[in-house]
Amino acid sequence: MYCLKTPWKTKFLILFLLCLPHAEEITAAEGDTNLSARSQELAQQWVHGWIKQEKARIIDNLQGLDGTELSAPNSGDDPNIYRLLVQPVEESLDVITSKLETHILELDAEIESNTTSWIKLRALQIERGQERAAIEGATSTLGLLAHLFDSRNRWIWFCALIATLCLAGAILHDRRHDFRKRFFGTRAKSLRIVLVMKIFTATLASFTVVVFLFGGTIHSYLISQSSGAAVDSLSKVAKEIKGFPAGPNEYDLPKPNSDNKGITVTPAENALRRKIQLTAVKNQLLVSMYSIMSEHGVKLEATNKYLSENANARNSTDFWGRVARFLISALLLGIIGYIAVSLKRLIRKRKKLNGETCPSCLGRGSLVGADSVGEGVVRCNNMVQDPDYPDEDQECGFEIRSIYKQMPKVCFPTLGHVYAGKTHWLAMTYRELSNSRFDADLNFARIQGAKTEDFDQLVDDLIDNRQGTGATQVEYVDPLLFHFTDKDRFGKTDVLLNMFDYSGEVTLSRTIEDPLRRRALDADGYFFFLDPTLPAEPQAKALNDFAEDVKILKGVEGGRTIQVPVAICVSKIDLMCMQPYADPSGGGIIGEFYNELSDLDPNGNEYSMNKIDAFSEMMERYVSTIWPGWNINQAIDRLFDGRFRYFPLSPVGLQSLGTDNLENIAQVPYRVLHPLLWLLQMNGYQVLDKRSVNKK
């Protein structure tokens, strides 16, 4: 993200990549050595294909050579007569065959020399034909479109793709938390810029691959179609090559008859006949080659004359080619630059919005300097409705140091039934965070605020004075603030963590129109507390009302589920052994529950997604025993569609089961930090490992 902080460096880098020297333009005017590789390749394929085709045609037209009678008449069985008649003929055959072999070698050398010269001539003709086609179709639509696929521009596309991938990496890094939230199924911020970048990158990558692999073919085809001239352009020659049949690699000559009308043909006669056939085929091939080479020479002369007469048009074509390259580079640079500038603006806008938003009341633009309080402190002057007197407004008055105001904020309120243990849990969580009892790779730095002194006193009352927590007052509450830093390996993120302690009255009796309840529900995740010592009916109603109001506040339509994570905190599990559903002797199903807790995590110090899932699955099996008649698993899943976990916990610990008098308990909290860590993980911050990490 450093490059985004210096946009002029980014623009310079992109411009440098796009303006790298492209492949040198090939012009045939400077001689054969400057012919393009494509022209030479096609010329070689065309010439060899034509030679194969011509060989096949000549061999098919051979007549009479396979039945030539060179042997002497049948002499019967007399060896003397056979020797006198046949031996002189065989001796003359050897002399003739030897002379034919010498002549065939001379023909092969001439064919090879002509083939080499012809390939050069044909390549030059193809190159000139392509230039003529480009001139004739320069101003047509297809001619202009052909510049996009010109292989000489392929490095422009490649450099643009590299710059785009770098920009895409910067966007992915900046929005990685939102991607993780989407992965977990929770509601994330708009990712429109990511969608635009995905479409642009995919299109550019596809086009770059096409230009690299098929650019020359597509370019020559468009040029040929735009000119409409009967010239040997690249695409026309390539099409002709495909039309050549697969001729013989060697001279597949017809075999001489070994027995023709009772006449015996000797091996020497067969050898002579083959030499005669080869001589005839090669002579005819040379004649055909000279004829077609003459035609190509005439066409090349005509094309050269056209190019000489249209020298200005040729220069104009080169000029428009350079203009096309400039326009392509400018267009790509403009698109990439626009996306980069848009990303920079979004980052600035997000920082500005964070800096203008009050963590307590969410008022925007209400944080102003408060020099009377202290240097570097801002205060919220937003007027909010008084919860007790709806007709009157009161100032929010939240104060925070200005160094924290631009940090991204996450807000987690505590909700649930009255006396469900919310304040006690939050106090012990505050104590654990303040004492750094968590994964060493994480950081939770306490931020001094209005609520800090209250919770310091509350912790002292709980631990030192062994006093219980009282009922939370129904009023606007300032959040507990922590400077949280995750352990993301792609770059640690600093977050302003806000945790609110709302009264159970807000959950039970306040309506969605109440500003205090609306503020409690406008959050990034929720701690919803279920008390195993209370009956199901009031808690089921509180849960349904909570979910209904969240749907209204978040704009969730009819049958859709809530895309916000909820930590279902089952508090006071240390008192479950005293409830009617427990076995007084300490055994039974609740005894099994405590045994499973001990097996999974005896000290409550293991932090991992696997352990959290295991505890949640275990709790799902016991809720029907704790609250019979309430199908809580189905109800919660229908509302949040898997975006929840059960968290059995105890702020006082499991060392004194069934004891509700704090004076007789040495409080050792059991798994109180896990709901907070899970909510942070579900909001895209790297907090929990998949496997267990035991914190001693």
pLDDT, position 88 = 55
What does pLDDT average to over the chain?
78
Q: Is the pLDDT of residue 84 over 50?
A: no
Q: Quick: pLDDT tens for 373-393.
A: 567 788 888 887 766 666 677
> Quick check: helix, strand or coil at residue 385?
strand
Could you give the CA distance from residue 683 to residue 565 in angstroms, rounded to a whole number? 8
Among 133-137, 328-332, 386-390, 664-668, the least confident range: 386-390
Report the percent of the chain where pLDDT is more than 90. 14
pLDDT for 646: 95
Give the per-residue pLDDT at 626: 92
Round to whole Å and give the CA distance between 696 and 677.
Answer: 17
Average pLDDT over residues 152-165: 89
How much is the average pLDDT of 592-614? 89
Confidence of residue 164 (pLDDT cuts 50, 70, 90): very high
Distances (CA, A) of 463 to 216, 353, 573, 654: 80, 40, 19, 16
* Region 539-553 average pLDDT: 86
Q: What is the pLDDT of residue 617?
A: 94
Q: How sure is the predictor about 183, in pLDDT bands with cuts at 50, 70 and 90?
A: confident
SS3 239: helix
* Residue 666: per-residue pLDDT: 75
Question: Could you tell me the domains of the chain?
Answer: 2-20+37-245+263-342 (no CATH), 359-406 (no CATH), 407-575+606-682 (3.40.50.300)
The first and second tokens of residue 81, run together, are: 């007569």
Phi, psi dihedral angles at 414 (to 5 degrees) = -100, 130
Q: What's the rounded mean pLDDT across residues 208-227?
A: 80
What does the angle CA 630 – CA 634 – CA 636 come to, to the nearest 5 degrees? 90
Kindly list the distances between the CA atom of residue 645 and the CA atoms of 413, 507, 572, 636, in Å, as whole numbers in the listed order: 16, 20, 17, 10
Whether pLDDT at 229 is above 60: no
- Does position 649 have pLDDT exceeding 90, yes or no? yes
CA distance 224 to 201: 31
**Span 557-564, mean pLDDT?**
80
Cβ atoms of 387 and 500 within 8 Å: the answer is no
pLDDT of residue 219: 76
3-state secondary structure at position 127: helix
Rounded average pLDDT over 223-249: 68
Q: What is the per-residue pLDDT for 675?
A: 94
Residue with tokens 């480009």: 134
The pLDDT tens digits for 419-450 are: 888 888 998 898 888 887 777 788 898 888 77
* CA distances in angstroms from 319 to 135, 219, 314, listed in the order given: 11, 17, 9
Average pLDDT over residues 77-101: 61
Q: Which of 268-272, 398-402, 541-545, 622-626 has the lowest mean pLDDT?
A: 268-272
The mean pLDDT value for 575-601 works out to: 87
Q: How far apart are CA 357 and CA 678, in angstroms?
A: 25
Confidence of residue 474 (pLDDT cuts 50, 70, 90): very low
Largest Cα–Cα distance in the chain?
145
Q: Which pLDDT score, from 0 to 100, does residue 75 have?
A: 44
Q: Give 291-296 contacts, CB < 8 A, sequence gap 24+.
A: 292/50, 293/114, 293/117, 293/118, 293/121, 296/118, 296/121, 296/122, 296/125
pLDDT, position 635: 86
Predicted confidence band at 90 (pLDDT cuts at 50, 70, 90)? Answer: low
pLDDT per residue as tens digits for the range 30-44 = 334 345 777 888 888
Percent of the chain with pLDDT over 70: 78
In the structure, what pLDDT confidence band is assigned to residue 94 with cuts at 50, 70 and 90?
Answer: confident
What average pLDDT does the segment 82-93 reach?
54
607-646 pLDDT tens trace: 889 999 999 999 999 999 999 988 888 888 888 888 899 9
Q: Please tell me the least confidently modeled range out of 333-347, 472-486, 671-685.
A: 472-486
Q: Is the separation of the CB atoms in 534 and 417 below 8 Å?
A: yes
* Summary count for the chain: helices (H), strands (E): 20, 14
Confidence of residue 320 (pLDDT cuts 50, 70, 90): confident
d(CA 529, CA 672): 12
Q: What is the model's pTM?
A: 0.70
The helix (run of H) or strand (run of E) holding residue 446 is: strand 443-446
pLDDT over threshold 50, residue 696: no
Query: pLDDT, tens digit, for every residue of 289-300?
Result: 898 888 888 888
